[in-house]
Chains A and B, each alone.
Chain A
Amino acid sequence: MRVDIDAVSVDVAGARLVHDITLRADSGRVVGLVGPNGSGKSTLLRCAYRALRPAAGTVRLDGTDLHTMGVREGARHLAALPQESATEFGFTAAEVVAMGRLPHQRGSGRPSAADLRVCEEALDRTGAAHLAGRAFLSLSGGEKQRVLIARALAQEPRVLVLDEPTNHLDIAQQLELLALVRDSGLTVLTALHDLNLAAVHCDELYVISGGRIVASGAPHDVLGPELLAEVFGVRAHRVPHPETGVVQLLFDRLPARTDAPTTS
């Protein structure tokens, strides 16, 4: 399923955080959003999974405006892994995954046999089947993310939106999670902090700064030293990965400028 974000602007508490952003994720592609903290990545993604409503512009799934669909219908096409997963409630991992069936259910949400099968498959695919009976709150960061991905897969969506999915994960867990996402075959829109991970795992990158897209294209073309200096305020050296040849980055501080503005 193709995702078009078309001229989207977003206001939060009276401030415009996203200015007129247009981007496109073709069916089955993994599209990354990179940018410094506060650049508007999460805000833009929130519009995609409908936690926010854009002030202008549209988010379209295969041409249909997402915000004209019912929330439930939207959630049948598009699943998300929001950054916040703060809950105080002692759900088991299996219960968390079962919530993924909610957009497909009516009434009290009693899961049918088919629902349970979908949930089981989702847990299997994310390698989290052994966690099913555990309390979600007692899981490690990596385990939690796997369970939440399983919840997203249980929605049987065609688009997956991820907001910094590798936060709080150790490096092996990060690689594992991104491989999992890639192998899902879904259209993926993800914000990523780590530019090297983004270079390896994304088909396309959009660089956001100050709520605007400042560059886009294949990671190899986008991640140039000038752009990285300008947007992230770092000096970057490009080196090919010794095995795969994918571009990877090594960072230094930029030589100090007098009264250099700190990028917020």
Chain B
Amino acid sequence: MAAPARTAAPASAPVGPDGDRPRTGSPLPTVPLVAGLALVLLASLVCGVGLGASGVGWGEVLHHLGAGLSGGTITSDEVSAYTIVWELRFPRTLLAAVVGAGLSAIGVAVQALVRNALADPFVLGISSGAAVGANAVLLFGSLGALGVWALSTAAFGSALLAMVLVYAAARSAHGLTPLRLVLTGSAMYYGFSALSTLMVFAADRGEAARSAMMWLLGSLSGAGWGSLPVAAVAVAGALLYLMLSAGRLNALAMGDESAAALGVDPGRLRRELFAVTAAVTGAVVAVSGAIGFVGLMVPHVTRILVGAGHRRVLAVAPLLGAVLMVWVDILSRVLLAPVELPVGVITAVLGVPAFVLLMRRRGYTFGGGG
């Protein structure tokens, strides 16, 4: 052990004992970043429509997009290309953007909610709850009366049911404490997953099991104009709410006592966040399955780029998540075309190395010590 240092710095010295630690990289200016990301997103949307298994020329893509947006006319031999562009790829790409934005935004919310770096929407057990409902439809044809809406209705309904269960189990005399939420959510996650697995085995239908698997790993292959409105409204509403709560989220991130001292009721804010998270998770999972990693990674990458202030994080993370999901969806369609890969596989393959690289390159301090 080293001898105790004799020359202690005077207390008033500008640099403390830890002052020699490299500080967090200075944040990027937010406004240009947001503007840039918005442009990248627009370009990505066009690419999302243009790239795919069946080659449709870029000129055609733009022409049909223009026709669709302006309500223009097309000739009869253009119908198949128009269908691919306007009825399949465009809503699907838009949905990818909405899902990416939604998962990223609620990732930010959940991490503030449980004040834990490892939190993502899945940690609350809600998405695996949604999977139970979805599996019931895929494997046993439950809710058949609802037709094409059966899957999303079941997923959303069971997400809400899971939320009520987690909430009831995690609630204590002190309200919702972060640790209890994480523990309860994780326990429920395993419970719901077991239920899903059980259903796959009990169903004994190869093709159905495959589509259940696909759904569990996340897929946008079922996307059409019909799946867009509910998810888009839920995500937009959540974004607006979170944006207006940015200051309160900062206070909550400092701890419950600090939040109270700053005039924020931590219990109430946590209940609000829980409800918003559950609703958006339900709405997103219902249309895209359980896409992992985006809700964990995008908030972290955003903080590495712009710092921890929630106003900036919430301006950047949804855009980043949207761009990411659009490209992930493109890759899922073209990599092994005509076979479609589950989206979750690609988010993990892309995300893990990118994340580790970013985390190691900059003095990222979310974990408390850089």
Chain A residues with CB under 8 Å of chain B are 13, 46, 49-51, 70-76, 79-92, 95-96, 99-100, 102-103, 105, 107-110, 127, 130-131, 133-135, 137-143, 152, 155, 161, 170, 172-173, 176
Contact = CB atoms under 8 A, between A and B. Distances in A.
Interface stretch (B19-27, B83-91, B214-222, B320-328): B19-27
Contacts of A72: 263
A87 B254 contact: yes
A51 B250 contact: no
B293 interface: no
A131 B23 CA distance: 11
Q: In the complex, which of the residues B8, B253, B367 has the most CB atoms of chain A within 10 Å of its own CB atom?
A: B253
Interface in B1-34: 8, 10-12, 14, 16-19, 21, 23-24, 26
Contact of B260 (A51, A86, A105, A135): A51
Contact of B11 (A73, A133, A142): A142
Q: In the complex, which of the residues A76, A102, A138 has the most CB atoms of chain B within 10 Å of its own CB atom?
A: A138
Interface of B: 8, 10-12, 14, 16-19, 21, 23-24, 26, 115-117, 173-174, 243-244, 246-248, 250-251, 253-258, 260-265, 303, 307-309, 311, 363-370
Contact of A143 (B16, B251, B255): B16
B263 A75 contact: yes
A238 to B, nearest CB: 28
Nearest to A128: B14
Contact of B247 (A105, A135, A138): A105
Contact of B244 (A92, A108, A152): A108
22 contacts: A49-B257, A49-B261, A51-B261, A74-B263, A80-B261, A84-B255, A87-B255, A88-B117, A88-B367, A89-B253, A91-B307, A95-B308, A99-B247, A109-B248, A133-B26, A134-B23, A135-B363, A137-B369, A138-B24, A142-B11, A155-B262, A176-B11
Given A89-B254, A95-B307, A99-B258, 7 more contacts: A13-B173, A71-B264, A79-B261, A82-B260, A87-B253, A90-B303, A90-B365
A161 B257 CA distance: 12
Contact of B246 (A79, A109, A135): A109
Contacts of B115: 87-88
Contacts of A161: 261
A138 B261 contact: no
Given A75-B262, A91-B309, A172 B255 contact: no
Q: In the complex, which of the residues B19, B254, B365 has the most CB atoms of chain A within 10 Å of its own CB atom?
A: B254
Given A95-B309, A108-B243, A176-B11, A140 B254 contact: no
B250 A99 contact: yes
Q: In the complex, which of the residues A89, A133, A134 has the most CB atoms of chain B within 10 Å of its own CB atom?
A: A89
B308 A75 contact: no
A51 B265 CA distance: 8
A140 B16 contact: yes
A72 B265 CA distance: 9
A91 B258 CA distance: 14
A109 B252 CA distance: 14
A91 B255 contact: no
Contact of A138 (B18, B250, B311): B18
A39 B118 CA distance: 36
A172 B261 contact: no
A105 B248 CA distance: 10
Nearest to B313: A89
A91 B19 CA distance: 16
A102 B262 contact: yes
Contacts of A83: 257
Contacts of A76: 263
A173 B9 CA distance: 12
Contacts of B250: 91, 95, 99, 102, 109
